[in-house]
Amino acid sequence: LMSVFLIPYLLIALIGGIPIFFLEISLGQFMKAGSINVWNIAPLFKGLGFASMVIVFYCNTYYIMVLAWGFYYLVKSFTATLPWATCGNPWNSLECVEIFRHEDCANGTAHGNLTCDELSDKRSPVIEFWENKVLNLSGGLEFPGAINWEVTLCLIACWVLVYFCVWKGVKSTGKIVYFTATFPYVVLIILLIRGVMLPGAQDGIIYYLKPDWSKLAAPQVWIDAGTQIFFSYAIGLGALTALGSYNRFNNNCYKDAIILALINSGTSFFSGFVVFSILGFMAAEQGVDISKVAESGPGLAFIAYPRAVTLMPIAPLWAALFFFMLLLLGLDSQFVGVEGFITGILDFFPTTYAFRFQREVTVAVTCVVCFFIELSMVTEGGMYVFQLFDYYSASGTTLLWQAFWECVVIAWVYGADRFMDDIACMIGYRPSSWMKWCWMFLTPLVCLGIFLFNVAYYKPLIYNNSYTYPWWGEAIGWGFALSSMLCVPLTALYKLIRAKGTLAERWHHLTQPIWGLHHLEYKVPESDIGVLTTLTPVSDGSAKVVILESVM
């Protein structure tokens, strides 16, 4: 993507990403609950919790496939000659050609005795390794074929890693993340230093930074920016509320949210230099425009970069470094997703059902269930299944729908000012009014606008610009999307029907917060006027009502 993408990216981060990122973390910290029970703040909309659980379950199921493929490439990197660098392997076809020198077309020949027309029909060993060896790609979704046992073993290894990192909770995961979150920065810096030294790297970086203003009018750029922000910030997955619930009650989540959001976007921006320096080198090497070598999605990680490292000296070293970094980054994301799901499940069941090793067993069952679903993705038709999950289950459409309702519920049902007061109780001061205005107006409008763009410019899923999914494949995809999106209206309708009284009485009753037992005598830092506020629980029937006491 050209750097014009950065403009909508930064704009949506400011008015959409950061405000909801902060909202979810602070909500989890205040309610001290996972993704389902946090919506006790407005019980009528508890469907938001169920929706986030559905989305994060889908994410946990398909996202780990990227790790499995990365692990497979990492293992295959420990050879003198990279297996995707040459033709002549059992998985290569007769159409395989190792060197593409398009600039030689001016002389009438491009490779040996091949003309340029003949060369256009030939295939790179990198693509053949990816499609014929790793994916063993079949003709379509309707042809699942056999299971690739090598990739399946890599998938098992990834799930074992995730299980033993998550099974004991955030304290043990936190120690592991010190390494998995920081080491990729070391690798990125090494790869950037190597990248900028390559011929053509400067052109790649200029291409990255020089905007094409005409693209700003294209709705797809805004849709992509919104989707990227919401997915990279893990918004709408319930993971942020789960992690926020583990914070101390008076933790400054406002400062944390802004710092984490800046680090997230800063890392993405920095990674762009690494990627485009490599793409510039590839374009120079092949004698084509950079737009011709740029890939997106799995293609960037498993086609563009592997192709680039084959052109470098000591190729196996750079390949191993890159895929090790990819594995660590992916594991971090998977930890967050699994933790968010497990916290939601454990919070949902009453403590009376608790048993020894409850967490360990729940994590194990989740991992095993996800693994068996993923067996459909390690078959010959597995990539078609993966794309179906990626395009529909945790797409921009579902995340934007989720974010829109989160803002509406907190800002208009519970009350934006009321929630700002709750945050002030925790951190000792009211956050910027910008957050309140975003929750009330800007963020819901942006979410709704991009959501409607998404629907209006909807294109059926096509794999690799060639394979069109059958109608029943699309129906399954929409089933994934609607399974989370319908949670909100259906749960609200069910609760309204089951409640007693007039419609106004039902609404009033179902929008009153249900305070949990966790609101116990929390001490809050002194405010600007020197009043110390504590939350004291007072029994009121079966629920716990929290009142504020001010002591001078």
Question: Does residue 408 sit within a domain?
Answer: yes
Task: Evaluate whether 45 touches 405 at the Cβ level (below 8 Å).
Answer: yes
Q: Which SS3 state, helix, strand or coil, does residue 379 take? A: strand
Which CATH number fits the domain that encloses residue 415? Answer: 1.20.1740
Q: Which SS3 state, helix, strand or coil, does residue 463 take? A: strand
Task: Calculate ∠ Cα 201-203-208, nearest 5°.
Answer: 95
Pairing of the two strands 543-551 and 522-523: unpaired
Question: Does residue 529 sit within a domain?
Answer: no
* Backbone CA torsion sign across 108, 112, 114, 119: negative
Question: Does residue 535 sit within a domain?
Answer: no
DSSP 149-175: HHHHHHHHHHHHHHHHHHTT-HHHHHH
Ligand-binding annotation for 484, yes or no, is no
According to the model, what pLDDT value does residue 533 have? 37
**pLDDT single digits (tens) 318-371:** 899 889 988 988 888 898 899 889 988 888 876 666 677 788 899 999 999 999
**pLDDT single digits (tens) 54-104:** 999 999 999 999 999 999 999 999 998 899 988 888 988 888 887 655 555
Domain total for the chain? 1
Ligand-binding annotation for 422, yes or no, is no
Ligand-binding annotation for 332, yes or no, is yes
Taken as a whole, the chain contains a residue count of 552
Q: Which SS3 state, helix, strand or coil, does residue 216 take? A: helix
- What residue numbers bound the domain in which 305 lies? 1-100+126-454+484-497
Ligand-binding annotation for 540, yes or no, is no
Question: Does residue 73 sit within a domain?
Answer: yes
Question: Does residue 473 sit within a domain?
Answer: no
* Residue 163 vs residues 71, 72, 341, 344: alpha-carbon distances, Å: 16, 19, 13, 17
Q: How far apart are CA 136 and CA 143, in angstroms?
A: 12
Question: Does residue 400 sit within a domain?
Answer: yes
Per-position b or e across 414-431, b if 16+ CB within 10 A of its CB:
bebeebbebbbbbbbebb
Q: What's the predicted TM-score (pTM) here?
A: 0.85
Ligand-binding annotation for 490, yes or no, is no
Q: Which residues of the chain have pLDDT under 70?
A: 1-3, 99-121, 170-171, 294-297, 299, 350-354, 516-552
According to the model, what pLDDT value does residue 252 have? 94
Question: Does residue 468 sit within a domain?
Answer: no
According to the model, what pLDDT value does residue 521 have? 45
Task: Evaluate whether 388 touches 165 at the Cβ level (below 8 Å).
Answer: no
Question: Does residue 506 sit within a domain?
Answer: no
Give the distance, in angstroms, between the CA of residue 508 and the centroid of all CA atoms in the same chain: 36
Q: How far apart are CA 32 and CA 52, in angstroms?
A: 17
* Backbone CA torsion sign across 478, 480, 481, 487: positive
Give the H/E segment covering residue 124.
none
According to the model, what pLDDT value does residue 454 have? 83
